[in-house]
């Protein structure tokens, strides 16, 4: 049958054995054949062999439609590969994702597919610390005529701003290969902020929080795991050694003279913040949409997220403590949890934390998901309301600010 023949051709191409392909004559059968080839090619892409195959299809309207579907599928595949890279940490997979994204952008018929592919390429450039390359892709997207391309340019530029090293003179000291930045405030109290590698927290937000805390004599210490692992298995020069990373960071706090500290973070970085706080005798943690432990596989929606969780467990092991159980034995530990109701998975972990007598829960609307909620809670008019009640509960500031 025709689909079997096309599947065989795609497999030959993917295995590096180019096969000749002459599509059937014009008509419904030809359109179906080309669509099937596009699907098979995208399912097992090998640019070096499939591009010549697809180039021979160029020219006919039905072939162009098949190529467009192929490009859209490639963009999705490249995006999935990029999403899994922090877990795999495989340069060859990163290079493969980049080739697929480049191919998708070249053959895209719809602006949104081109925008998606170029955004993936830009994020891959950022992952490789190629800020200039990422900026060039952002400029290319910004020059596009479609809203999708301009929106992708804005998203990429925000990520570039997050990854751009702070300007000299911001008052920070760097430790642990630059993954830890210390903003002193002249006292013996500190807040440790665990940041996502791809966090929506930009330099302006960090500076605003730094200045707010400094006004209360509290230092800020930021921790960023550049691999996108949320600090679950270490960071900086202790990547892959979480216990060593925790000891090193605790040593930095002691060396700087901090007798009291607290922690904060968002999502799995929030969980890392609680783990660090529990293990280092912190007074408490303020977290946003945090998890009480590594989610169980059946809790995670979507096969892609489940595969990522599998890799995460394989990478970090399963010895990370269940936070609600750990906190149950620490009645004096202060926990403030801000959460949205946008995800059943969030709700499960909110309920687990909510069973703790020392937990204070702050509910926000379903539209305040992820980075949006982080940004809202760190807006100039919300910063005091976010932090002062927590700092007061921890005894770091007087009640009422």
Note whether residue 168 is domain-resident.
no
- CB-based burial of residue 150 (10 Å sphere; 0-12 exposed, 13-18 middle, 19+ buried)? middle
pLDDT score, position 217: 96
Which 3 state secondary structure label does DSSP give 106?
helix
Give me the number of domains the chain comprises. Answer: 2
- CB-based burial of residue 167 (10 Å sphere; 0-12 exposed, 13-18 middle, 19+ buried)? exposed
* CATH number of domain containing 331: 3.40.50.1820
Residues 22 and 158 in one domain: yes
Range of the domain at 19: 2-163
The residues with which 263 forms a beta bridge, in sequence order, are 192, 285
Residues 101 and 245 in one domain: no
Q: 155-201, pLDDT tens digit by residue?
A: 898 888 777 766 555 678 888 888 899 999 989 999 999 987 655 67
Residues 65 and 130 in one domain: yes
Structure tokens of 163? 């990854």
Residues 13 and 98 in one domain: yes
Q: 32-75, pLDDT tens digit by residue?
A: 766 666 666 556 555 555 555 555 555 555 566 666 777 787 78
Q: Are 133 and 163 in contact (CB under 8 A)?
A: no
Note whether residue 156 is domain-resident.
yes
* Measured distance between the N- and C-terminal CA atoms of the chain, rounded to whole angstroms: 75
Give the pLDDT band of residue 1 (cuts 50, 70, 90): very low
Q: Are 160 and 202 in contact (CB under 8 A)?
A: no
Query: Does the pLDDT at position 76 exceed 70?
Result: yes
Query: Does the pLDDT at position 317 exceed 90?
Result: no
Q: Which helix (H) or strand (E) holds 286?
A: strand 284-288
Whole-model pTM: value is 0.71
Angle of the 61-88 helix axis to the 91-107 helix axis, nearest 10:
160
Q: DSSP label at 238? A: G
Domain boundary at 111, 137, 163, which?
163
Tokens 């925000």, located at residue: 158
Q: Are 46 and 14 in contact (CB under 8 A)?
A: yes
Query: Does the pLDDT at position 285 exceed 90?
Result: yes
């Amino acid at each position: 049958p025709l689909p079997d023949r096309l599947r065989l051709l795609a497999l030959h191409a993917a295995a590096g054995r180019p096969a000749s392909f002459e599509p059937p004559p014009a008509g419904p059968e030809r359109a179906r054949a080309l669509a099937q080839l596009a699907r098979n090619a995208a399912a097992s892409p090998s640019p070096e062999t499939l591009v010549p195959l697809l180039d021979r299809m160029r020219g006919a309207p039905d072939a162009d439609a098949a190529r467009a579907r192929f490009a859209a599928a490639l963009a999705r595949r490249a995006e999935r590969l990029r999403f899994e890279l922090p877990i795999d940490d495989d340069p060859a997979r990163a290079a493969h994702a980049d080739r697929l994204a480049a191919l998708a952008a070249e053959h895209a018929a719809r602006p949104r597919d081109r925008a998606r592919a170029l955004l993936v390429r830009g994020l891959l450039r950022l992952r490789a610390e190629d800020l200039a390359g990422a900026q060039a892709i952002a400029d290319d997207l910004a020059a596009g005529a479609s809203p999708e391309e301009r929106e992708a340019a804005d998203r990429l530029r925000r990520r570039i701003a997050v990854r751009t090293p702070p300007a000299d003179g911001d008052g920070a000291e760097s430790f642990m290969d630059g993954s830890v930045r210390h903003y002193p405030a002249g006292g013996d109290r500190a807040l440790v902020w665990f940041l996502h590698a791809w966090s929506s927290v930009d330099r302006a937000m960090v500076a605003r929080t730094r200045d707010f805390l400094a006004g209360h004599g509290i230092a800020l210490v930021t921790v960023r795991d550049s691999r996108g692992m949320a600090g679950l298995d270490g960071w900086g020069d202790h990547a892959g050694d979480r216990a060593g990373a925790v000891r090193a960071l605790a040593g930095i706090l002691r060396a700087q003279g901090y007798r009291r500290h607290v922690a904060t973070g968002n999502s799995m970085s929030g969980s890392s913040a609680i783990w660090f706080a529990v293990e280092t005798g912190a007074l408490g943690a303020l977290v946003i949409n945090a998890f009480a432990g590594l989610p169980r596989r059946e809790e995670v929606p979507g096969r892609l997220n489940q595969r990522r969780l599998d890799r995460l467990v394989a990478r970090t092991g399963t010895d990370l403590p269940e936070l609600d159980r750990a906190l149950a034995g620490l009645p004096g530990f202060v926990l403030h949890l801000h959460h949205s109701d946008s995800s059943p998975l969030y709700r499960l972990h909110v309920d687990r934390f909510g069973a703790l007598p020392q937990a204070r829960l702050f509910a926000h609307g379903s539209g305040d998901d992820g980075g949006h909620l982080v940004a809202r809670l760190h807006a100039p008019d919300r910063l005091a309301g976010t932090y002062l009640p927590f700092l007061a509960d921890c005894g770091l500031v007087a009640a009422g600010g």
